[in-house]
Amino acid sequence: MVSLSFIVGIIGNIISMLVFASPIKTFWRVVKKKSTENFKGLPYITTLLSTSLWSFYGLLKPGGLLIVTVNGAGSVLQFIYVTLFIIYAPKDTKIKSIKLVAILNVGFLGLVIAVALLAIHGSIRLTVVGVLCAGLTLGMYASPMAAMRTVIKTKSVEYMPFSLSFFLFLNGGVWSVYSVLVKDYYIGVPNAIGFVLGSAQLVIYGLYKNKSTSAKSTERKEEEGSAHLVKKSIEMGDYEDKESSMKNRSLTKGRSLPNSKSSSVSRQHSFQKIVKTHSLTPSELHSSWPNENDVENGDDNNHR
């Protein structure tokens, strides 16, 4: 007959896998934008170390199959997350992350395994590894506190995914129950604390979720208002340009046209002159011509 502890352990495996898979959406965003933005790499590096050590603990512990399966799969996923973070992180963050991976996931893990297998024997080996695993699990649960500080500071839950907080809460609760059934305090103590910390994250998420939504709504309205003002300014500028262009055309046209008043007077004067000429009698017309003496005197004067 299947024991209750095995059933709870299976449930714990499923929930833990959901916890390990929850950052997939985050890293899809990182890959899509080719930037880690404000996400922290430390939680994934410490979780990789934790899952690796728990896998080793499960191999040492009799009946630790469920511990090995879930933490082995978690180690693979965490390795992928850490690799992607290092690829897309800024140069300074990338260098720091590589150093942390070299120190914790290579140096420290290798040292623990070597010392446990070569220098420690019997039940003490399981105790030493169990204490280390418990400490790292506490670190895994406490590492999102950096994200909690960011949420409180920025009043935005953007960088604290709800799914991760929720599944950490469930994970801590289920593994706490499992530890009581199998009487493994190395599993029980850190997961009970993780259950409390997960509850705190959910409370903070609930407090700042509405504020984040209202802040985004305000920013959207401000952007729309700015765009409207810019559009109006452009339209006013175009209208003023058209108006000044029309004025310039009117002035140019006015300068190029002849004076209508003077033109009318000139035409009237010419018309009156023609009429007068046609109305003169032959004697009046002849008298208006210059006489011969006047012409001769004019010529004499010119010769002089």
- For the chain, domain boundaries: 4-217
Q: Given this model, what pLDDT does residue 246 score?
A: 62
Contact residues for 178 (Cβ-Cβ < 8 A; gap 6+): 5, 8, 9, 12, 184, 187
pLDDT of 117-146, one tens digit each? 999 988 899 999 999 999 888 877 776 677
* C-alpha 196: how far from chain center: 32
The pLDDT of residue 11 is above 60: yes
The pLDDT of residue 52 is above 70: yes
pLDDT of 74-130, one tens digit each? 999 999 999 999 999 998 999 999 999 999 999 999 999 999 999 998 889 999 999
The pLDDT of residue 293 is above 70: no
Q: Given this model, what pLDDT does residue 200 score?
A: 86
What Å distances lie between residue 15 and 11, 24, 223, CA to CA? 6, 15, 41
Contact residues for 176 (Cβ-Cβ < 8 A; gap 6+): 188, 191, 192, 195
Contact of 27 with 81, CB cutoff 8 Å: yes
Mean pLDDT of the chain: 77
pLDDT of 223-258, one tens digit each? 555 555 545 555 555 555 555 556 555 545 444 444
What Å distances lie between residue 77 and 28, 66, 74, 200, CA to CA? 13, 17, 5, 26
Q: What is the reported pTM?
A: 0.63
Q: Which of 7-16, 114-123, 175-184, 284-293 has the lowest mean pLDDT?
A: 284-293
Contact of 93 with 41, CB cutoff 8 Å: yes
Give percent of the chain above pLDDT 70: 68
